Amino acid sequence: MMNPSKKLSIAVVIPTYNEVRAIGEVVRGIPRNRIKEVIVVDNGSTDGTAEQATAAGARVIHESRKGYGSACWAGSQAARSSDLIVFLDGDRSDDPAQLDRIADPVIQGQTDLVIGSRIGGSLEKGSMPLHAQLGNRMIVLLLRLLYGVRITDIGSFRAIRTRNLFELNMEQMTYGWPVEMIVKAARRKLRIQSVPIRYRKRIGISKVTGSVRGSMMAAYYMFLVPLKYLIKR
């Protein structure tokens, strides 16, 4: 358990792909008095995302391997010297002003992994399509049935101690990363907690819910991963 009296260093990791319209606002919205650094992982953008992130004050690293998990993993490697990593999306849907709500339960030693809950919080109109809400609830139910995990969402805004993250030996480098983290944390008996957050309508078109292919691929991986690790030692 963490010592709450110890000041922990926090790195914010933001995976991005063509988020030039949003990334500057996201980076500037992060409360800098709480964090050590902001790391934006550019996953092959062609629209100037990296330049905008740099101008806003982030450290930009480039990951050529495509995939949400690949970008998160590259950012995790870059943030390895920090005690705690907070992940959030670069499309403005996650509100960086709520960083305290996400990080503090881990800092205070109350839990090991925090997942920001869009379902349990407030959804701005148009921020989360109905099919995404339904799919999310089904995956949450599956995780509860298979692993006893009592959370209300599998969202991207989350916090975990860096040491714990690397002990999970993450393998899913595409859509399965978010669920894999929860599954492996549950298998290691880490404490997992949902906290309600505000979720806003993203700027631009979602790479996942914004297309039929993206939605189908995400659903495939998110349902497959819990089953895969149920039988894997």
The tens digit of pLDDT for each residue in 87-134 reads 999 999 999 999 999 999 999 999 999 999 999 999 999 999 888 898
Tokens coding 84 = 């705690």
Residue with tokens 């899913």: 172
pLDDT given for residue 1 in this prediction: 44
Alpha-carbon distance of 195 to 116, in angstroms, equals 5
CA angle at 219 for the pair 214 and 222, rounded to the nearest 5°: 120
Q: What is the pLDDT of residues 129-184, one digit of tens each?
A: 888 898 899 999 999 999 999 999 999 999 999 999 999 999 999 999 999 999 99
Is the confidence at residue 37, as pLDDT, over 60?
yes
Mean pLDDT of the region 5-18: 90
CA distances from 195 to 32, 100, 119, 139 (A): 22, 11, 10, 17
Q: What is the pTM of this model?
A: 0.93
Distance CA 51, CA 19 (A): 11
The listed CATH number (3.30.870.10, 3.40.470.10, 3.40.50.620, 3.90.550.10) that belongs to domain 10-231: 3.90.550.10
Percent of the chain with pLDDT over 70: 93
